[in-house]
Amino acid sequence: MGAKYQFQIRTKVDDSIQKFALVYDQTAGSTSSDATKEAIDAWEAQCLPELLDILATDTEVLSIYCRKLDGDSRPTWRKNLNAELGTRTGTSLSAQNCMIINLRNGAGLLKRPGRIFVSGCAKEDIDQVAPTTGGWAPALLDPPVTAFATAIKTIPAGGGSLFEGTLVVRQYHNQDPDPPTYTYVAVDTVDATVEIGSQMGCKGKETGWTV
């Protein structure tokens, strides 16, 4: 495995700031001081359009942040975006309601799937076909969510960047004495939970996302 980079995607939903995080194993691209900027450029080019395609038109993606997690340190980088709004017709659900994206390893190397919680999907994308399930509408799950899941699994070079990376789950291991250690497990399947999820904030910080 190569160097590991964590991305945080910040969104504005229902006048609330939300975020989710993804970790990638770098397979190509810069390893110098501009590595995090290159990583952001690639994610923006290859994944942001698919993210916007699952979000309501009143949900805004505010920024993409990246930091290097291991090895020699590199400057962290955040790119503030300009009016990047969702494209799904309708009004967003409250920020506490979200789509759960599961990050799986088919070899059983994860005790449970990694998860990201994406807020900002449209109320109109709740299934209304009788008998209603109360979950996400099939028209949202495929192709839009399927396309997003495919996009985030592997980042090819793009956006003027040579960065490439594959999605991993970062696992925390408590140690006595400190410090804790981390291991990384490759993600080979990304899928969405049909049921609508929820997340709660605690002391001003979002909870409910696991990397």
Cα dihedral 68, 73, 75, 80 in deg (nearest 10): 10
For residue range 140-196, what is the model confidence (pLDDT) as tens digits?
999 999 999 999 999 999 888 999 999 999 988 877 777 778 899 999 999 999 999
Phi, psi of 173 (to 5 degrees): -130, 115
Mean pLDDT of the chain: 90
**For the chain, domain boundaries:** 4-196
pLDDT attached to residue 27: 95
Task: Answer positive or negative: Cα dihedral of 99, 48, 24, 17.
Answer: negative
DSSP calls for 106-143: TTS-SSS-EEEEEE--BGGGB--SSSP-SSB-HHHIII
For residue range 119-135, what is the model confidence (pLDDT) as tens digits?
999 999 998 765 667 79
Contact 144, 88 (CB under 8 A): yes
Reduce the DSSP state of residue 183 to 3 states and report it: strand
pLDDT attached to residue 130: 58
Element (H, E) at 93: none
Contact 128, 64 (CB under 8 A): no
For residue range 31-45, what is the model confidence (pLDDT) as tens digits?
888 899 999 999 999
* Res. 209 pLDDT band, cuts 50 70 90: very low
Work out the average pLDDT over 46-63.
97
**Range in 67-71, 128-132, 203-207 the model is least confident about:** 203-207
pLDDT attached to residue 207: 37
pLDDT attached to residue 201: 59
